[in-house]
Structure 1
C-alpha cells in the first residue's frame, strides 16, 4: 500500500509528532523533499512531504500564513519541521497556519535525519511498486488461464470483474449485451451508450454515481469493430484499474479474431446438419453429432426457436456447448437458432439460454416424425413472445389462449364433462381417459403413445376400441378428435362434473 504520513509516524525509530492536520495523515506521499527556499513550490509536483528546519521561515504571522497557503495550493502533502538546529521547537505561528489550512505539520527530532525519512519514503514506494508489479503479473496470469476455459469469453469477462473489484460486460459491435459478470453491469452499460454512439472506435471513460466506468472497443488490426468491453468499479474516483481492463480487451480481441474463422466453419456445418435433420435425414446428423454438439437428443424432444443478434446467438451457442450435457442439437437457419433438446433436460437448458438477452419459443414434447411441426410451434411461440415483449413463451400457452379463451367456460366445461363421463364411469376409466389424452397429444401415433404410457401397442389398440365404443365416436374423424382434444384441455387431468348453478 502507498506510504503515508501516518505510516511514517508509526515508525518509533523516527520519533515524529503530529502538531496539525490530523485528519489529512492518510494522503499517499509521492516523495520526501528537503528545501530551505523561501518558495520551494517551483520544484515540487504535489504530494510531497516538505522537510525544513526554518532557515527561510517568514518572521511574521501574516507572511507565515501566506507561505503555508502557497504550499497547500502547490499540493504539498505535509510539512516536516526539524527542531534542534535553528529552532528548539516548532514556531507557534507555523503551527497556527498549518491548523488554519488543515495541512499536516510534523515535528522531527534532531536525532532523526531528513535523509532517513527520504530513504524510508523511497523504500516504501519501491516495495509498493514491486508488490503492484507482482499483483499485475498474477492478475495477467489469471486472465490468461481464464481464456483457456471451455467458455473462455465468459470466463474472461467474469475474471476481469473480479480483478478490478467491480463488474464487466462484453457487447457485440452493435452494443448489445453478450456477457455480463453481474446484474449491476446493465445500468453501467446504459450510462456509457451515448459516449459509444458519439465515438464508437475510441476508449471512453466517465465517472457517475460514485463509479468509474470505462468502455473499450475491440478492434482488429485492420480497424474493424468486433465489440466492446465495458467495466466499472464503485468507490473513489480513479480506483478503476484501467490497465487491467485494457489487457482484458486486448485478450478478448485476440480470442475473438483467432476463433472467428473456426466458429464460422463449425456454425456452417451445424446449419447443414440441421437442414438434413429437418428433411428427415437423421443419419448424417447422428454420424457427426459428436463432433458438432457432443451428442444427440433422444425422444421425446422439444424445439427452441431463439432470436437475437448474431453476437447473442454466438453466446447462446457457447452456453449450449459449455457443460450442458450431450442430448441436444442446434444450428442457425434463416437468422434464428433452432435447438432440439431431449424433453427430460429441456428445463435446465432453457434456463441457461435465457441467461442471454434473446427471445425463445418452446414447442410441445414431440417425436421425430413431428419435427417439422415442433419447429413451426417454436417459431410461432417465439413470434408471439416478441410481440408481447416477453423473453420466452411456450406453444402450449398459445393453445391455452386460443379458441378456448372465447368459450363460455361453465357451459363448455359442462359439455366436455358430459361427453367424456362414460370413460370415467366405466371400469378402468382413469386409464382410458389418460390413454385418450396421450393418444390425442401424440397426434394419433400409436407407437409413440404406447411408449409414453409404457404399455404394449396391442393393449393400446384394445383401449382405443373400447373408448370408441363407450363414447360412440370415430377416432379417425378429425372433427371428433378435435372436439375430444378441446374437451380434455378444458377438463385437465382430473375431470369432474361441474356443479349445476341455480337461477
Structure 2
C-alpha cells in the first residue's frame, strides 16, 4: 500500500462565514472561493512575507492616523497574493474604512469584518484544525481506495482493476505498451458523459516498470482535477497493474526454462539420461526441420542480454524462446527452419555487437546432435564480437563432397587444434585471429579493426600463427586451403 503525508487542503470562504463562533461579517465577496492559509500581519509593507492564496488578518495599526493610505495597503496585499482580508474593528478603527471596502471591491479581493471580541488566533486555530481534519479524512479515503484496489487486484483480473480504478478516480483509465498497443481500458459513467459532451478532462500518466525492452504506460483522463491523493492512487493502481502484467512474463520465463531443460536432456548437453520423450515441443516447421544457432559472448551478462532480446522478439511474434547452454558463455538457440535468417539476426538489435553468432544449416529434429552443435560452437568461438557466420557461406558444391569434407576437417583439426592448445596454455587469441584474418581476405588493417587491436599487433600474431602451424599464408594455395578448412562444419545448404 502507498502512503502519503498529510497535506493541508484549501478551505472555502463559505465554511469561514458559516463558522458561528468566529462571527465574521462579509463586506466584499472574494473572487477566489478558497484560501490556503491564514496569517496575521501589521506591517505597513508586508509584501515579502505574504503567502500566496492567503487570508490576511489586520487591524491596520500601522495606518492609525492615515486611513486614506489603506487603499494602497490593500493593493499591495492583493499584489502579494492575498485573496482576502479579515479587518479587525474596535481597536484601531471603529469600523472598516470605506477606502478599504472600495479598494477590495475594485481588486476582487474578499473583505471580512472581524469583531473586537474575536482574537485573530482563534481564526488561525480554527482554520488549521479544519484543514487537518479534512486532510486526514482525505488520507483515510485514499487508504480505503488503495485497500479496495489491492483487494480487486488480488483476484487477478486486470480488467476488474481498471474498472474499479476508473470508478474511484471518476475517469477513463487506460494501459498501453511502448508501441501504443492497447492493453486494457475502463471508463466511469461520469467520464464517458463528459467525453461525449466534449468537456475538458484532466490528464495524467505514469510510466510503469521497465521489463527488458518493454514497458507500459497508465493514462488517466479524469472529470475533476487530480489532487495529490488522486495522483498517489494513480501510482498505486500502476503498481498493481504492473504486477498483474508481470504474471504472464513470469509464466513465460518458466516456459523458456522448461524448453531449455528439454533441449538439454534431448541433446544430452547436460549429461542427464533422457527424462522426456523425443517428441518434446520444439520449433520445427511442417517438414520437421529446425535451425540450430550458437550464440557466444565474453561474459554471461552480455549473453543474457542477447537472449532477452531474442525472447522479446519471439514474444512479439507469438513464439517462445528455445535455448540451452552449450558451454560457459555460449548457448544453443533453435528457430523454425522457415524463419528468415535476416529476421533472426535483426532480433538481436543493439545486443548484436556483444555476441558471436554461428548460424547452422537446417536439419531434421532427430538429426540434431552433439556433433552438429559442437561444430557450431567451435565456429562461434572463432568469430570476433559482433560478427556472425552463415550457412551456405560458399556455393562451391565440391566442398560438400565427403572426401573433401573429411580432408578439410582433418586440416582444420591440425591447424586450429594447435592454435587452441596455445591459446589455452598462454591465454593468447590465435585461433580467433586466424579466422578473422581469413574472413577478411588476409587484410591486416581490416583484421585489426575487427579484433579491436593495433595493426602491428595483428601482424605479429599472424607471423606467430604461421610459425606455430608451419604455413605460409602469403602463398595463395596455402591461404585457400586454410580458409576452406576454417569453414569445415559450417558449410552446407541453407
User: Shorter-chain-normalised TM-score: which range?
Assistant: 0.3 to 0.5
Q: Which has the higher contact order (CA 8 A, sep 6+)?
A: 2
The alignment's TM-score, normalised by the length of structure 1, stands at 0.45
The alignment's TM-score, normalised by the length of structure 2, stands at 0.46
